Amino acid sequence: MSTFQAPKGTYDLTPPRSATFLAVREAISAPLRDSGYGYIETPGFENVELFARGVGESTDIVTKEMYTLTTKGGDQLALRPEGTASVLRAALEANLHKAGNLPVKLWYSGSYYRYERPQAGRYRHFSQVGAEAIGTEDPALDAELIILADQAYRSLGLRRFRILLNSLGDKECRPVYREALQTFLRDLDLDEETRRRIEINPLRVLDDKRADVQKQLTDAPKLRDYLCDACKAYHEEVRALLTAAGVAFEDDEKLVRGLDYYTRTTFEFVHDGLGSQSAVGGGGRYDGLSEMIGGPELPSVGWALGVDRTVLALEAESVELDLPATTSVYAVPLGEEARRVLFGVVTELRLAGIAADFAFGGRGLKGAMKSANRSGARYTLVAGERDLAEGVVQLKDMESGEQSAVPLAEAAAELAKRLG
Ligand code: HAM
């Protein structure tokens, strides 16, 4: 071990587990790529104001969890704590919304940073795959995104996840509810910090995990009773489309989410095998965010799924992903001459699109065969001086154990044929 370790709240992805992470990113993005979402990549840091305005000054993410820094040039930056504000900023900057093709559908995959108290499933550096559909108000778009996330999780073989669904209302009805809730909350017996929260973000109080707080909330006014007719109809349509698609969900009126930009549809994917950090993904509609960051009115919806927690969910369900071996052919040279010849064959195989690896470092037959086994290769090529003198290599089928001599000049073609 070196003197250094990964910083607190972070961990490294190393083989073989790292292959599962790649497969999860692939599985989550595949349904998006097949549904008209284009790939977007934005910087790992942004102007700190973007998140303060976008995610919200009253959220834990902005007040407690952002990694901020001042550059030598005096710019105030923050490592991105989430992707939505960045993606919308980038779409506006590139004028994607003006190309006359709404919604602008984008997907992304990357690292995010939050200075949280680390625990199982909660890290300071984590990874999300996300999707944003910008510029269109249509319940089918909300439904599409939820269905695609459901499809992604199912394709991975996950079963013990649930979809929680809620509507947070819009700029017409939510303020009315907010006030009614504040009036109710101000009369309760609560600590100072919670009292402060009533004034900045009363909906978050509903989210309080403490039993004594929850007990007092039984008779709190319900957002459902305050939704305006337009919000109600919109929500009913999302629910109907999900039901028609055979996607099961649970109505959860306590679902408020930790970011301020949400309006109307909000949802979370939770997994029952993960303990307290059970949200494997979440998202919703954010019809006002564009205007909050200085853009035009662009009603939008999106989600982000946590890759780390999705991997933990797979492990909790003991799902083994069917990860094909990365190497098909492993070459084992015995001696200097064979090393040159087989290295040439390996290069030829790779150019032909066959995944091949080589026993580097002039190791003995036994050690090299061990590596060949570990690589998962279907075939091994072995050649020593005598083989070369006869113009052949030994081709071993690692599944059946059968071995046969193949003319050196035909080795690559023979392997291509056998590997189909
Ligand atoms: P979020 O709910 O903050 O939403 O994060 C989405 C997912 O990222 C969570 O469900 C969780 O799986 C994962 N995640 C968040 N924080 C951590 C952490 N500290 N450690 C490990 N995993 C974590 C958003 O970020 C929104 N931008 C989603 C969205 C997109 N809404 C609309 N569009």
Is omega for the bond preceding 16 within 30 degrees of 0, making it cis? Answer: yes
Whole-number pLDDT of residue 319: 97
Q: How many domains does the structure of the chain reveal?
A: 2
Q: Is the CB of 54 under 6 A from ligand 1?
A: no
User: To which H or E segment does residue 263 belong?
Assistant: strand 263-271
Q: Which of 316, 342, 357 is the last residue of a domain?
A: 316
Q: State the Cα angle at 24 between 358 and 275, rounded to 5°.
A: 125
Q: Which of 286, 316, 346 is the last residue of a domain?
A: 316
Q: Are residues 250 and 283 in the same domain?
A: yes
Q: State the average pLDDT over residues 212-232.
A: 94
Q: Is the CB of 114 under 6 A from ligand 1?
A: yes
CATH number of the structural domain spanning residue 411: 3.40.50.800
Bridging pattern class, strands 300-306 and 125-134: antiparallel
Pocket test for ligand 1, best of 64, 128, 280, 305 (most atoms within 8 A of CB): 128
Q: Is the CB of 51 under 6 A from ligand 1?
A: no
Mean pLDDT of the chain: 95
Would 368 be classed as within a structural domain? yes
Question: In angstroms, rounded to a whole number, what is the distance separating the alpha carbons of residues 244 and 242?
Answer: 5
pLDDT digit string (tens) for 366-375? Answer: 999 999 999 9
Q: Is the CB of 84 under 6 A from ligand 1?
A: yes
Where are the strands (E) in 209-262, listed by range? Answer: 250-251
Nearest C-alpha to atom 10 of ligand 1 is from which residue? Answer: 281
Question: In angstroms, rounded to a whole number, what is the distance separating the alpha carbons of residues 313 and 20?
Answer: 12
Q: Is the CB of 280 under 6 A from ligand 1?
A: yes
Pocket test for ligand 1, best of 82, 113, 287 (most atoms within 8 A of CB): 82
Q: State the Cα angle at 346 between 340 and 351, rounded to 5°.
A: 130
Q: Are residues 232 and 362 in the same domain?
A: no
CA–centroid distance, 82 to ligand 1, in Å, is 7
Would 146 be classed as within a structural domain? yes
| Cβ 267 vs Cβ 283: under 8 Å | yes
* Confidence (pTM): 0.94
Pocket test for ligand 1, best of 32, 61, 126 (most atoms within 8 A of CB): 126
pLDDT digit string (tens) for 247-285? Answer: 999 999 889 888 889 999 999 999 999 998 999 999 999
Q: Are residues 96 and 117 in the same domain?
A: yes
| Cβ 147 vs Cβ 118: under 8 Å | no
Q: Are residues 27 and 125 in the same domain?
A: yes
**By residue range, what is the domain housing residue 342?**
329-418
CA–centroid distance, 202 to ligand 1, in Å, is 21
Q: Is the CB of 333 under 6 A from ligand 1?
A: no
Residue 184's pLDDT band (cuts 50, 70, 90): very high
pLDDT digit string (tens) for 346-369? Answer: 999 999 999 999 999 988 999 999
CATH number of the structural domain spanning residue 247: 3.30.930.10
